[in-house]
Structure 1
Amino acid sequence: MISLISPSKALRKLAENVRSRRLNAGLTQEGLAERSGVALPTLRKFEQKGVISLESFLRLLLVVGGLEELIEAIKPVKPAFSSIDEVLKEEASPRKRGRHK
């Protein structure tokens, strides 16, 4: 799958989303930092530049919401085939066409 968003843009978008969730929850930066255990300078840097450790990011999501959705979003996709034999069998199957009336 090809992504049209760069990692730096993704980081900034994540920071914007967490900031929006913080504001919607009526939390100040100080309040979110205190509740999450993330240092205030770390939170400020994240909201400004999108830079943060994964553990701190997850702590923020625990407070503002979204942790469960993140875990769900990155679940592995079940492969269509469980073995190479299934792939080869699929390739060998004749094409099926509709009937002409």
Structure 2
Amino acid sequence: MFAFNMRSPSEVIRGLSERVKRRRIDVGLTQRDLAARAGISYGSLRLFEETGKISLEALMKVAFILECEAEFEQLFPPRPPKTIDDIIDRPVRQRVRRK
């Protein structure tokens, strides 16, 4: 069964940046403090909180400082099996062929 989601990628990104800002404020860090502790520029953090734009590496650094890195482990979980054939030991596919 498919989960129907009405949110766009930009809405998801915006929500993420708002949650990071809220977490930063909750732990009592200024933008400059968090940027310095994470080893990223103040401008990068400010831009992220305003627009949602940030590199994945910088986002991971911020997540570690805010103690949220475990949530990244939940991204892209394996798909659950749908048939018995999916459960039987099959070699794991390494790539997809073009059709």
TM-score range, shorter chain: 0.7 to 0.9
Question: Which residue number in structure 2 is paired with residue 68 of structure 1?
Answer: 70
State how many pairs are aligned.
85
Q: Flag structure 2 segments of 5+ consecutive residues without an equivalent.
A: 89-99
Q: What whole-Å deviation, never above 9, does each CA across 1:3-58 have from its counterpart, x for those lacking one?
A: 21100011110000000110011000000000001111000000000001111111
| Higher normalized helix content (fraction of residues) | 1
| Superposition misfits of 4+ residues, deviation over 4 angstroms | none
Structure 1: which 5+ runs fail to align? 87-101
Q: How does 1:1-101 map to 2 (within 5 A)?
A: 1=2, 2-81=4-83, 83=85
TM-score normalized by structure 1? 0.75
Q: Describe the shift of the 1:82–1:46 C-alpha distance in structure 2 as closer, same or farther (beyond 3 A).
A: farther
Structure number with bigger Rg: 1
Q: Over aligned residues, Cα RMSD in angstroms? A: 1.8
Amino acid in the other structure paired with 1:48:
E
Normalised TM-score (structure 2): 0.76
% identical aligned pairs: 34
